[in-house]
Every structure is written in C-alpha cells, then in structure tokens.
Structure 1
C-alpha cells in the first residue's frame, strides 16, 4: 500500500511538472498531427498554473514562473470557455500582436505572413484519417487523401505547413488584438479548426486563450496508429503503427 502511494505521488509530480502524454483526437492540426498520434508535452516551458495539475486541481494561484510562448510553438491547453477539455493548437499571436485573415492569407501585425505552395499532403485512407471524398485519390491501387499544402514562415523564422482546402468563413476575419496574458491560437488545418478566429463556445471556437490555460509544449511523437488495430489481435498493433511518424519532433 505504501509503495502504491509513493508511486502515485511520483506519477503526480512527473505529470504535473515535467512530462505528460497527449493523444490527438481530431484532424485540426493536420498535416503536423493526425488522429492516432501520441505525443509528449513538457510542462515547464511557460510556467505553472492550476491547469498544469491533473484535473485542474486549484492548488496553484495564477501562474508561477510565467513565460510567454514563442510564435509557432505547438501547445496543449484547457479550451475556453469551460476549461474542461484539452485542445492542441499553434501559437500565432502573443500579447500586443494583431492577427487577421484576408482571403485565406494570415496577417500578423499588419504584414502578410509568407505562404508558399508546396507539394500536396498525401496520407493513406484509414480509420484514423478523416478524408473528404473530393480529395481522395488512388495511388498504387491504394486510396489516399491529397490535400493542398502551403508553407508559412513567421517573423521569428519558425516555418510549418498548413492545409488550405478552399474558401470558408474563417478565411476573412476582423482584426484581433491579443490582450496581455493571452495568446491567439490556430490549427494548421485552417479549414477544419475551431480556434481563436471563433468566439469561445463549448464544443466550438476557443476565443483568445489565457496563458494560464496552457498546460505545456508539444515536443515529440512517441507513437502513432492508423486505427486499424484490434485489441484482441496483438499482431495488428504493429501493422497499424505509423512507424515513420514515431520520433518526430516539433
């Protein structure tokens, strides 16, 4: 009994202050993250708050050792308004920044962020791949998703790929000004992400997110599965693994 209590305390400390696992539940961060990816986040990068602790236990007032995320960081956070669900998005704007979308182009502090067309993002169709029929193709007799892909580069030099599937309401917005103590977060899958472009609503947008809600920074994929495995058939755990995604950093 004493051993189990000590083990629980150690696990609590590690998950609260050092590392924590996170699984990807949606395609909002494609192409960088896919449903079925499992990753580790580090907890010390931006300081600590109640949301650093399991279940958001209110033992930490405000933020301790606070630091502002860098633009381009991928972070896990408690989603407004209820702060009950964990979401993962990319930091686009930090306090004092202005953010706007115009015709699918990202503008930061009034300047267009370079957006370069690159090769389509191609992924095999699987149980863990959401793929609109319009973007399905057959490659080597196998069905795949082929999405238009672009490379964005932020003023600090951080580059990453985004998906832009067409014209949506989120392609044109007003100008958002990020207040002190907050961050503007967006999904890399720009047409399939409920993010800071939308008002905070349970199960919908998240608004501009308080830095206190951020739990940690995504650092590495430690596993990925295409969803085709069956628990009672252990050999399918290996065939379903996306081995090429394991070990990818951010």
Structure 2
C-alpha cells in the first residue's frame, strides 16, 4: 500500500510540475516575449525565411491580441486569442499602451483572419500614404532613396513550405542566382532600412491611403512580394490595422535556419545569431 501511495503521489507531483511550468510559460509569453518564426519572404532582406525571433510585447502595452493563440489542429487544439481575451476586443485601447514609431518592425494580428503578420510600420494615424513609380510618398513627400546594389539568393525551395523566390532577372533555373534590386529607404524620422524591388506592378502605383485615427499602415520590405496595407482586406491584404491588434515589436533575431525546420541545426545561418533588426 505504501508503494502505491508513493507512486500516486509522484504522479500527482509530476502533473503539478507540468501544469505550473505551462502556466509560467503562458504568463511569460502573454506579458513579455512571444516567439515568432518567419514563414515568408515579404520582409527580405531585413528578415529571411527561417529567422527565429522573440517579439517584445512590453513595447506597446497589452490588448486582447497580447493573449497567445495555440493552434494544433492535428491534435484537436485550437485556442484563439479571442477565446481567452475576447472580452477586451473592440475598444481599440491598450493597457500600459505605448505608441509605435514609424519604421518599427511589428508583429500584429490580421484584422479579419486573426493570423499573425510581421511588417514595417510606414503610416501613422492621419498620414497620407501613396506609391508613385515604386517610390513611397508620405504626406505628399517622396522618401529619400539611394541605390545599394543587388540582393542575391539561390533559386531553390525555401522554408517548410518550399516556396521559391521571385526574381528580377527571371526566369531562373533551379540552383541559379536570383537577383533583386536593393535600395536604402529613409523615412521622415530618419529611420533607414533596406527594401527590395522585383519589377513594375500595380502596387508600385496606388491611390492615396488616408490612415484613420487609431490605425496604422504597414508594408513589407520586399516591396513586390508582400501582402500588406496596400491591399484591402477583402482582396487578401492587410488594410489599416487597429491599435489594439498590435502584438509587439521585433528587435532581434535569435538564430536563423535555412532548412525545412529550425530543428535542423546544421542549416543554421552563422551570421544571424542575435542580429539586431533595423
């Protein structure tokens, strides 16, 4: 009997330990930092497919979007942030709220689908945003651009989805060198970052987007390969993003995998450990 009692007690203690660990991890992820793995090339070359980073949730305070989602449909677990913190939604306010700055790289919740997106903050509330001949205009003034050579990558499957990059010099055969024009863009507040261009398309010439109060306008650095605020939500884009949908700011890449999984350590990129995000 004593042996069975000890065994039962050990099982209970193990369960308690696991529960406590999950609670601590949940609180940590909700309040401080959320892991994020880059699945697409919309932010190249700032962020590459396979970059692994932590999102700073303290930067902008907390809203319903700060609650983590846990989506594991293969095992029947689908817990959305709305399921836990939906009662906080629709007031477009934040607890301990902080204002994002133009040029921040931000993870936010898509206003319609609820998916997590990561883009660069371009337009603030009240701004007028427009693209003219591939040049970003903010409040009717073109941003400063200077050429920075070309961005090169292999034309090969990338990441777990095996997507191949789009190339300015396409079509490119398997294993060939894929090229994109690179420029340095300077925003009105002096923030500089690299952007890539592939060719002329509809998103390079747009109408004027007037950013509503309490909303923000986001764009990908890989300008011709990004579904962002230039596209309406009804067409698969992002549209204007409410303040309450911001999750946090991306500040630093922890490590980066060029393979199909971040667990394939032999494919980790040696030059991206603890790399700051600009």
Q: Is the 8 A contact 2:168 2:181 kept in 1?
A: no
d(CA) in 1 for partners of 2:259, 2:197: 25
d(CA) in 2 for partners of 1:123, 1:2: 49
> TM-score when scaled to structure 1?
0.89
Residue 32 (str. 1) matches residue 65 (str. 2):
no
- Taking the TM superposition and a 5 Å limit, the aligned residue runs for 1:1-250 are 1-55=15-69, 56=81, 57-58=84-85, 61=88, 62=91, 63-82=94-113, 84-128=114-158, 130-132=164-166, 135=169, 143-201=176-234, 204-227=236-259, 237-250=264-277
The aligned length equals 240
In structure 1, stretches of 5+ residues that fail to align are 232-236
Q: 1:167 to 1:137 in 2, by over 3 A?
A: closer
Q: Is the 8 A contact 1:17 1:43 kept in 2?
A: yes
Report the CA distance between 1:115 and its aligned residue. 1.2
Q: 1:176 to 1:230 in 2, by over 3 A?
A: closer
In structure 2, stretches of 5+ residues that fail to align are 1-14, 70-80
Q: Is the 8 A contact 1:90 1:187 kept in 2?
A: yes
Query: Would you tell me which structure has more helix in proportion to its own residues?
Result: 2
d(CA) in 2 for partners of 1:228, 1:71: 33
Q: 1:185 to 1:240 in 2, by over 3 A?
A: same
Q: Which has the larger radius of gyration?
A: 2
Q: Give every structure 1 segment of 4 or more consecutive aligned residues whose post-TM-superposition deviation is greater than 6 Å.
A: none
Report the CA distance between 1:96 and its aligned residue. 1.3
Report the CA distance between 1:133 and its aligned residue. 5.7
For residue 52 of structure 2, give the secondary structure of its aligned residue in structure 1: strand
Report the CA distance between 1:127 and its aligned residue. 2.9
Q: Is the 8 A contact 2:130 2:205 kept in 1?
A: yes
d(CA) in 2 for partners of 1:113, 1:226: 33
CA RMSD of aligned residues (A): 2.2
d(CA) in 2 for partners of 1:53, 1:81: 17
For residue 6 of structure 1, give the secondary structure of its aligned residue in structure 2: helix
